Amino acid sequence: MTQALAPVPAAPRSHAQVRQRSAGRRIVARPELSSLLGAIAVFVLFFVVAPPFREAAALSTVLYSSSTLGIVTVGVALLMIGGEFDLSAGVAVTTSSLVGSMFAFQLTLNVWVGVLFALVVSLGLGFLNGYLVMRTRLPSFLITLATFLMLQGLNLAITKLVTGNVATDSIADMSGFASAKAVFAADVHFGGVAVKITVFWWILFVAIATWVLLRTRTGNWITAVGGQADSARAVGVPVKATKIGLFMTVGFGAWFLGMHQLFAFDSVQSGIGVGNELFYIAAAVVGGCLLTGGYGSAIGGAIGALIFGATTQGIVYAGWNPDWVKFFVGAVLLVATLLNMWVRLRTSRR
C-alpha cells in the first residue's frame, strides 16, 4: 500500500515581495491613474495629428483653458468626494462677476470693494446650498438645480434692471482695476511665451486641496462623510459643518474664476456660464471621483481638466470640425468612468 505524500508548503513571501505587491496595489488603486493614462493618450494623439499643438504657445493656451475649468473643478472634486453635487457652479461664476462689477460701478467704489463683496455673496450662496441640503435632507442634485435656475434668471433680470442691457458696464478705467487685474488676469512671460496667472493659481489650489485631503483631519472627514455619513457622524465627525464647508469651497472657486473673467474682459455678459457645471463634474469624474462619494483626489480632477483643455484646443489645432468637441468630451467621460469602475473592481478583488 503506497503512502500519500504530504503537500509541500509554499515558500513564504519575503518582506520585500509583500511590500512590492502592496506598493503596486496602491499605485493601481490611485484614483488619478486612469486619468493620467488618458491625458497621455490625448496629448500623444494631438501631438501627432496637429503640428501647431507642438508649439510652446499652444501648450500655454491648453494650460489656460484647463485652468479656467480646473479652478472650479478643485472645489467640485472635493464636494464629490464628500458625496454631494453642485449644479449651480457654472452660473455662480457669472453671478460673482456680475455682483462684483455692478456693485463697484453703480456705487463708484474701488473695484476691490466689489471683489470682496462678490466673495461674500459667493460664499453665502455656497453656505445656503449646503445648509439647505443638510436641513431638508433633499438630494443636493435638486437643491442646486433650483439654485442654478434661480441664479440664471436673476443674472439676466437684475443686469437688465440695473444697466439696461444684458452686459455690465466696463470698469477698465475705475480705481483698483490695474492691481486687481494683476492678481486675477495677468500674463506671466517665460522665454517669450505668455502664460496666464490662472495656471499658477490653479496649481496652488490643487496643491492645497491635495495637502488637505492627505495630511489633515479635515481630509479624513471629507472622505468619511462621502463614504458613510451616518457612520462618520457616529464617531464624532461634524458631517453638517464639513458638507457646508465643501459647498462654500465650490463658491470660493466660482468667485475666483468670476473675478478672472471680470478683469480679463472688464465687462460681463449675464447669460454666460450655463452648462459649465457639467464640465466641472465631468472633469472630476474623469479624474477618478466616484459619483457615490468617498473616493477621488484633487490631482485627478486637475488631470481631468487638463484632458478637457487639451481636447477642446487640440481639435481646433487639428482643424477638425468643432461640432465634435462635445462628442469627444462625452466619449472621454464614458471611457474614463468605465475604466475607473474596472480599476476599482480589480483592486477590490485582490
User: Residue 10's pLDDT is what?
Assistant: 47
pLDDT at 111: 97
Amino acid occupying residue 307? I
Asked if 276 and 148 touch (Cβ cutoff 8 Å), the reply is: no
Helices 325-349 & 33-49 angle (0-180, nearest 10): 140
Whole-number Å distance between alpha carbons of 325 and 317: 12
Q: What is the pLDDT of residue 256?
A: 98
DSSP alpha helix (H) spans, the chain: 15-29, 33-49, 56-81, 89-106, 111-136, 140-163, 177-184, 197-215, 217-227, 229-234, 239-265, 276-286, 298-318, 325-349
Cα–Cα distance for residue pair 256/234, rounded to 1 Å: 35
36 touches 30 (CB < 8 A): no
Residue owning grid cell 500674463: 187
Reading the chain (350 residues) residue by residue, the pLDDT tens digits are 444 444 445 445 555 544 554 555 555 556 677 788 888 888 999 999 999 898 999 999 999 999 999 999 999 999 999 999 999 999 999 999 999 999 999 999 999 999 999 999 999 999 999 999 999 999 999 999 999 999 999 999 999 999 999 999 999 999 999 999 999 999 999 888 999 999 999 999 999 999 999 999 999 999 999 978 888 898 899 999 999 999 999 999 999 999 999 999 999 999 888 889 989 999 999 888 888 888 889 999 999 999 999 988 898 898 888 877 778 778 877 877 777 677 666 655 65
Owner of C-alpha cell 468619511: 224
pLDDT score at 344: 65
Q: What is the C-alpha separation between 337 and 35, in angstroms, rounded?
A: 10
Instruction: For residue 343, give the nearest of 82, 43, 32, 20 by alpha carbon.
Output: 32
Closest CA to 247 of 133, 141, 140, 129: 129
141 vs 139: CA distance, rounded Å: 5
